[in-house]
Chains A and B, each alone.
Chain A
């Protein structure tokens, strides 16, 4: 990596540190897969609560091991505005189309894949695995054409894939972060300046 690329990475990781803490997303992915494979509301809720608790503990691990950053709110305003006013509504609309009209393909596939690409683009790029993940999610939408889950099972299968995306994407994010943020040379923190 040359100096300019290294500095760009430093800027991107700092500005989007929360999103690079991949292990935070792993419990949520496992919860989503569990809910998709065992679609009972009480099981899903229980697993989701447990996943949120574990995810918070993982956040504490990142603070202890990698330090803390306070972001500049103005830098994320545009992303937040787009996310809430366009991306999330589009994801919900596509899901509603799949659930209510049951088209021959899972429309959410390409829509959610586009959302993944927007997420990747707005959180510091790097992490090229998101390009492959988006391609896989988009392709998942076409699987019912081949008869591999169809009807109600198609949506459950889709959510299982999204859960796997959280797990795999999260693990790969974490590996990328550990590659960029090197181990501390000396023990401890603070009080040294």
Chain B
């Protein structure tokens, strides 16, 4: 049986990257959020957040809707069904790894 630390290498890097994990975690707690909210919550620059969202959209983990609220342009972001499944799966895996790491004894 591999040590839990070796299994960390198998984590989905698209989801596990810290900025993207923050974005996905926020989106998992709501139906959708706008660009400004995600930018302020994650502390990312506009360019960085755009780049991460593009990657997540390419992987079909998030959907991005551009529109207008009155005359103000808005960008709404939501998790897709597969995105919600991916973040749920990821958190379960992290929890499992955490438990395994707590129980793990190095072989002497």
Which residues of B lie under 8 Å from residue A181 when comparing CB positions? Answer: 40-41
Which residues of B lie under 8 Å from residue A12 when comparing CB positions? Answer: 29
Q: Does A148 contact B (CB under 8 A)?
A: no
Partner of A190, one of B41, B47, B75: B75
Interface of B with A (CB < 8 Å)?
A: 18, 21-22, 25-47, 49-50, 53-54, 57, 64, 66, 72-75, 77
Q: Are B40 and A186 in contact (CB under 8 A)?
A: no
Whether A193 contacts B30 in the complex (CB less than 8 A), given A7-B25, A66-B37, A66-B40, comes out as no
Q: Give the complex CA separation of A58 and B87 in angstroms.
A: 33
- Total A-B pairs, Cβ < 8 A: 112
Whether A71 contacts B36 in the complex (CB less than 8 A), given A10-B22, A190-B74, A192-B50, comes out as no
Which residues of A lie under 8 Å from residue B47 when comparing CB positions? Answer: 186, 192
Partner of A193, one of B18, B25, B37, B64: B64
Q: Does A14 contact B (CB under 8 A)?
A: yes
Report the nearest B residue to A74, measured CB to CB. Answer: B31
